[in-house]
Amino acid sequence: MASESSFDVVSKADHQEVDNALNQAAKEVAQRYDFKHVGASIVWSGEKIVITANSEERAKAVLDVFEMKLVKRGISLKALDAGEPKASGKEFRLECEIKQGLTSENAKKVAKIIREEGPKGVKPLIQGDELRVTAKSRDDLQEVIALLKGADLDVALQFTNYR
């Protein structure tokens, strides 16, 4: 009996890389001339990221700077859940969240794609907020990874525990 190979499909952003991107964005916002005297800032507030500025456009510009820093650090923008700027007194606040883990509906979508379009003999199994994919052949698993990388999903996927 040949042993089965497997890997996990997860959706987790590296918290340290997000923190580094946030610190770089904060430094750039503090130094850039177009952000002087507009009260622009970007900080952690618990598990959320809060962006403040004196206008809606400036808040969105700070978000753009943060998004650029995330991309440079290899974090998919699909992991960022940014809201709309809301007026809060004289300033505008924009709250962002970093999505962690596969929701059950996204895990079901990924499992359905694997069952319908993947090679025969590949079995997806939902385990909490991740998805375990097993097959007899490692080549089949490589095909599944390529298939999922090419799929248009609204969630950032990483592949771990490849054995």
Place of tokens 């992991």: 79
Percent of the chain with pLDDT over 70: 99
User: If pLDDT is split at 50, 70 and 90, which confidence band does 2 have?
Assistant: low
Residues 133, 11: Cα–Cα separation, whole Å:
14
**Radius of gyration, CA atoms only, the chain:** 20
In the chain, where the domains are located: 5-12+102-160, 15-98
CATH number of 5-12+102-160: 3.30.70.860
Give CA–CA dist 107/148, Å, rounded. Answer: 12
The CATH number of the structural domain formed by 15-98 is 3.30.70.990
Element (H, E) at 63: helix 56-72
Q: Is 62 in contact with 51 (CB distance < 8 Å)?
A: yes
Please report where in the chains the tokens 């490849």 appear, as a residue.
162
Contact between 17 and 5 under an 8 Å Cβ cutoff? The reply is: no
Q: What is the pLDDT of residues 88-144, one digit of tens each?
A: 888 999 999 998 888 888 899 999 999 998 888 899 999 888 899 999 988 989 999
Q: Using CA atoms of 71, 79, 97, 39 in order, give the dihedral in degrees to the nearest 10.
A: 20
Assess whether the region 5-12+102-160 and the region 15-98 belong to the same CATH fold. yes
Q: Which two tokens stand for residue 64?
A: 């753009």
Task: With cut-offs at 50, 70 and 90, classify the pLDDT of residue 161.
Answer: confident
For residue range 55-97, list pLDDT tens digits in order.
899 999 999 999 999 999 999 898 899 889 898 888 999 999 9
3-state secondary structure at position 151: coil
